[in-house]
Chain A
């Protein structure tokens, strides 16, 4: 029966090629708009580290001065160096890392030095964030403490500078004129969003060079990203140990999300101590954000993407409404044919099924067309100048979603005409 309906559908669609083409185009445009924006949204709102995003936490303390203080307000966005180093030393969580972005002129041999993005980090950074290692090792906590002159390179830099990960090991680079040895090379790694530091763009690539935090401080590497200072005295060096400035991201990895309240209490106790000692002007006010919570707090999905998604959904709605109208028109034009089929013994249910099969065919073709158009749409997004242009790709779940959306859209557009068709009474039509 299904094959027969398919055959009927094929004939019916070919009988009115103009109308069929227009209906298909309408459906395909709606599907494409929807899929393009949904894909962008899906990529940008993705969980960058699904295996542990629920037990990785971002730490915030309220270390600011009293100016602009509102009880119950928000704590600082980042931590100070003094707080970061203290928490790190107390090591209250199974793993913890302090990190910040920076930049340095990096020189290989006697080459022209090149300005390179640097990430300052402490030892746990790599295992915590599942940074994949291609060769060598990352540095140890002991090397952290000793401000060892060691660095880890990312995959493209190792390739560019030394022709590969293995070749880069044990090579020496001059970082701001100071020799540092390459102990490890990462495999290609691009967590999206760039969750562990969203202060300077949530969709950028991780840094090219990783340097132990203490080493970066000792070598006086320049920090980048945002920093905010408070107090009345001018700050001559933001990175000084006791500078009243927040500029570091502090992360902890707990055994499970259930340990978060206990860790929050620890932060409360720490803040209370600092408040009593006079270091914190404000009463304790701490926050612990899980990865997804931190991304939401920072609104890493740009408002424009939400707007586009809404617009695309509305657009799809109009497209579905229009194709309902077009199919309705076509259906009722075929009242004669339906009348004959009914008179020859087809039940209402048969007629309904026949027309739904036709809608499914439309949905199938619309889906293929829509996917082609989405592919073009995504190519446009990638060619665009948004900061997320590079990371947008269509993956398997989105392909499935595309098929789902097309099917639902086509069925929605088909139900009403099919119902109307099933309602055609045989007698009236045969008469004419």
Chain B
């Protein structure tokens, strides 16, 4: 199709043409980046943590303030014995921290503790050997520490040499400490030298969305926390029924309150629910972005429909003339669609440049990941399709113009 007549007509309608170009450009720039932001959130929301979250029941029991250390240790032991005896509990452990619980414990670790050794900020886990079964930790190298004498956390704080030397770390920390080589059997230094005996790919982070993502390090030491220093964690079989799960929650509450009637159960919750709460604001942001994008597209489409129909109306006589001179309905339709495609494309070229610029700005100021290149043509394609759809409505009206119109007036 010859574009020259279209261009010549457009020059006469600079305002309307400019408006369509601008509308499309801004919409394209915003839509591409908004969709990218939605995509980023979805990636966060769907990331796997490798834990049997649906089968883990997490309890945070705040002890009544009147017990001393020795009493708390006894209570912890009685708690765990009672919880393990509950029907349906496959495994139970007491762990100093759990993911999504809004409580973290970090410490600096390095290869050898030398003055120039690089320090990594690692999530410090403390538990006895039962934790491997309870959390279902899996290993890329090595394995768990053996069940054996495990010092209490308070004792370990006073004398770190009580802590068994074998330590389990996560893959991120292994890669950071020993890039390109196996970390197994190598030293890890925290206050005292330890030996890495296992590298786990699902040792959890307490705050999995910590930024930057490269610094998601975790280590697990063979130390026994007591109530007030962590969480009771229970694991049930995956085929446990919903009723049995609800029943277990009640039994756990009763059991723990029977051991220490003056404590407060601040949390008795399944880990997958904790994760949903932890992710709530990201999920909300993703929905919001998606909704705004949809409305934005709707508004843009509406704007294009309005402008194009005005345009068609204004050129009724021209259409009539063309029809009278033998142009078919299809030709008239194609003419308006081509005109719209031309305008939209001009807008999209501007818009893609804008999207790229906006993406850079977001990356610089708000730590948003760089906009992947394919979002640009994808966003453009969506807008082009919508633009054509929007133009099609008035363009079809144009084809209905009778040739007689041209002869009147």
Binding site for B on A (CB under 8 A): 19, 22-23, 26, 29-30, 33, 67-68, 103-105, 112-115, 175-177, 222, 232-236, 303-304, 306-308, 311-312, 314-315, 317-319, 321-326, 328-330, 332-333, 384-387, 416, 420, 432
Contacts and interface: CB of A to CB of B under 8 A. Distances in A.
A322 B300 contact: yes
B171 to A, nearest CB: 24
B116 to A, nearest CB: 10
Given A30-B299, A325-B306, 10 more contacts: A68-B108, A105-B63, A112-B264, A113-B64, A177-B65, A307-B285, A314-B29, A315-B292, A318-B23, A329-B310
Given A322-B303, A328-B16, A105 B64 contact: yes
A308 B16 CA distance: 30
Contacts of A328: 15-16, 19, 307, 310
Contacts of A23: 306
A115 B63 CA distance: 9
- A contact face: mostly helix, strand, loop, or mixed: helix
A30 B292 CA distance: 10
B266 interface: yes
A216 B3 CA distance: 82
Contact of B289 (A112, A311, A325): A311
A384 B288 CA distance: 11
Contact of A105 (B65, B115, B285): B65
A252 B266 CA distance: 35
Contacts of A177: 64-66
Contact of A233 (B19, B154, B191): B191
Contacts of A33: 292
B366 A420 contact: no
B119 to A, nearest CB: 6
B23 A315 contact: no
A295 B182 CA distance: 44
11 contacts: A115-B266, A175-B65, A232-B113, A233-B191, A306-B365, A307-B362, A311-B30, A318-B26, A318-B27, A325-B307, A329-B309
A314 B65 contact: no
B37 interface: yes
Contacts of B310: 325, 328-330, 332-333
A369 to B, nearest CB: 14
A328 B314 CA distance: 12
Contacts of B119: 67-68
A358 B387 CA distance: 29
A228 to B, nearest CB: 8
B409 interface: yes
B297 to A, nearest CB: 10
B49 interface: no
A26 B66 contact: no
Interface magnitude class on chain B = 35 or more
Contacts of B101: none
B108 A416 contact: no
Contacts of B157: 234-236
Nearest to B22: A321
B313 interface: yes
B296 A307 contact: no
B77 interface: no
Contacts of B284: 384-386
Interface centre among A30, A330, A332, A387 (most CB of B within 10 A): A332
A113 B295 contact: no
Contacts of A113: 64-65, 262, 264
Contacts of B65: 104-105, 113, 175-177
A306 B366 contact: yes
Contacts of A175: 65
B262 A112 contact: yes
A176 B284 CA distance: 39
B300 A318 contact: yes
Contact of B366 (A114, A303, A315): A303
Interface in B264-280: 264, 266, 277, 280
Contact of A321 (B156, B262, B303, B409): B303
B19 A324 contact: yes
Given A303-B367, A325-B303, A384-B284, A318 B296 contact: yes
B341 interface: no
Contacts of B16: 325, 328
B292 A176 contact: no
B199 interface: no
Residue with the highest number of chain A CB atoms closer than 10 Å, among B30, B266, B304: B30
Interface in B177-201: 191
Contacts of A324: 19
B302 interface: yes
A325 B310 CA distance: 9
A319 B27 CA distance: 10
A321 B310 CA distance: 15
Given A67-B108, A314-B30, A326 B307 contact: yes
B20 interface: yes
A105 B289 CA distance: 42
Across the A-B interface, give the 5 residue pairs with the lowest CB-CB distance, nearest first: A176-B65, A329-B310, A322-B303, A385-B280, A177-B66
Given A325-B20, A325-B23, A332-B314, A385 B281 contact: yes
Contact of A308 (B115, B288, B314, B368): B288
B110 to A, nearest CB: 9
Interface in B36-56: 37
B268 to A, nearest CB: 14
Interface in B101-143: 108, 113, 115, 119
B147 interface: no
A103 B228 CA distance: 11
B281 A304 contact: yes
Contacts of A26: 299, 302-303
A332 B309 CA distance: 12
Nearest to A112: B262
- Of A103, A175, A321, which is in contact with the most chain B CB atoms at under 10 Å from its CB? A321
B62 interface: yes
B34 interface: yes
B66 A176 contact: yes
B158 A236 contact: yes
Given A235-B157, A306-B366, A311-B30, A322 B309 contact: no
